[in-house]
């Protein structure tokens, strides 16, 4: 009698020790009693391609990809989803039976699901959004907001040319705002998102003046360590509806887990708790 193969998956990056994904997938595997393993994989840049090509041979069904390989993984893949192409990065790889690598990006999906779960009546079409930052995470957020029908995105970044590049890529609904002017475009925004690393443990604090924020505005920080950044605490004190960044991490993992292990996991208060322990 041959036993069924146990699917293997993991997350590839460098460094990888800090990644919360092994704990998250491990939690779901145990909780749902699904056979499978999910491991952290640290590789150097010169070994990325051969690692991705080799892993399917030993039972891997897919991988998450994290810093600094999200763009490289997209380039290596044999096929790519539209959303990964337009974002310009891959965070989820599926290894097909014929050994081909299919790349997707679920960061925008995770971002959207996180806000929807936290603020069920949030309507992205209801008014302008302000996006702070123009890095990789910002691209996923901006593509997703545009797709969800947001009428205008005020995009602001310390390095202005990165924001300008995004306007070229994503079109005229993007309005560039000078980084030093960011505090002046908040008062009629319905959604405000920090995609920069400012406020993260070990990084500088965000200094954008937030007194323009109106009560009821949905304010989301992609930073989740600490869970309540000063940005979110200030917004909360001004009556905004705040959404922390942990949920995005949890939701972006759902499509990969479902594809690799065959069951769709739920993002529950219990899994949030487990990730914070
Ligand atoms: P990620 O993929 O997580 O978005 P990234 O591409 O390195 O990472 O982008 C980091 C973002 O944080 C950028 O918008 C960056 O601004 P720059 O494009 O000017 O570098 C922003 N950021 C990082 N440190 C910052 C700081 N001290 N002040 C302002 N913005 C900062």
Fold that domain 8-105+248-276 belongs to in CATH: Rossmann fold (3.40.50)
What is the whole-number distance in angstroms between the Cα of residue 196 and the centre of ligand 1? 5
CB 114 within 8 A of CB 248: yes
What is the whole-number distance in angstroms between the Cα of residue 139 and the centre of ligand 1? 12
Fold that domain 108-244 belongs to in CATH: Rossmann fold (3.40.50)
What is the whole-number distance in angstroms between the Cα of residue 30 and the centre of ligand 1? 36
Q: Active-site residue numbers?
A: 70
Mean pLDDT calculated for residue range 210-219: 98
Output the residue whose Cα is nearest ligand 1's atom 29: 158
Q: Please state the pTM of the whole predicted model.
A: 0.96
Output the residue whose Cα is nearest ligand 1's atom 5: 135
Domain with CATH 3.40.50.10860 in the chain: 8-105+248-276
Atom of ligand 1 nearest to the CA of 133: 14
- Burial class from Cβ neighbours inside 10 Å (0-12, 13-18, 19+) for residue 171 reads exposed
Is residue 212 over pLDDT 80? yes
Domain with CATH 3.40.50.720 in the chain: 108-244
What is the whole-number distance in angstroms between the Cα of residue 162 and the centre of ligand 1? 10
Q: Ligand 1 test: best mutation among 72, 132, 133, most atoms within 8 Å of CB?
A: 133
pLDDT band at 2 (very low <50, low <70, confident <90, very high): confident
Is residue 110 over pLDDT 90? yes
Mean pLDDT calculated for residue range 38-48: 98
Instruction: Report residue 27 as tokens.
Output: 């939690």
Residues with CB under 6 A from ligand 1: 133-138, 157-159, 162, 195-198, 204
Cα 80 from Cα 85, distance rounded (Å): 7
- Burial class from Cβ neighbours inside 10 Å (0-12, 13-18, 19+) for residue 91 reads buried
């Amino acid at each position: 009698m041959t036993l069924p193969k146990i699917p293997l998956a993991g997350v590839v990056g460098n460094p990888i020790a800090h990644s919360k994904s092994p704990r998250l997938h491990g939690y779901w595997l145990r909780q749902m009693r699904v056979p499978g393993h999910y491991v952290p994989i640290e590789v150097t840049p010169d070994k990325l391609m051969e690692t991705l090509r080799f892993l399917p041979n030993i039972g891997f069904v897919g991988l998450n990809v994290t810093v600094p390989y999200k763009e490289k993984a997209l380039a290596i893949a044999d096929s790519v989803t539209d959303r990964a192409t337009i974002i310009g990065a891959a965070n989820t790889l599926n290894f097909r039976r014929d050994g081909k690598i299919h790349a997707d990006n679920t960061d925008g999906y995770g971002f959207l699901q996180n806000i929807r779960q936290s603020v069920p009546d949030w309507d992205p079409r209801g008014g302008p959004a302000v996006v702070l930052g123009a890095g990789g995470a910002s691209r996923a957020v901006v593509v997703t907001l545009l797709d969800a029908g947001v009428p205008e995105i005020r995009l602001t970044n310390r390095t202005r040319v990165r924001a300008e590049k995004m306007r070229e890529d994503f079109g005229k609904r993007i309005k560039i705002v000078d980084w030093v002017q960011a505090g002046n475009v908040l008062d009629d925004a319905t959604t405000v998102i920090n995609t920069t690393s400012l406020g993260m443990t070990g990084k500088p604090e965000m200094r954008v003046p937030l007194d323009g924020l109106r009560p009821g505005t949905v304010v989301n920080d992609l930073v989740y360590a600490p869970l309540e950044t000063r940005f979110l605490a200030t917004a909360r004190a001004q009556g905004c509806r705040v959404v922390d960044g942990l949920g995005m991490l949890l939701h972006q993992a759902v499509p990969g887990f479902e594809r690799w292990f065959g069951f769709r996991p739920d993002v529950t208060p219990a899994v949030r708790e487990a990730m914070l322990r």
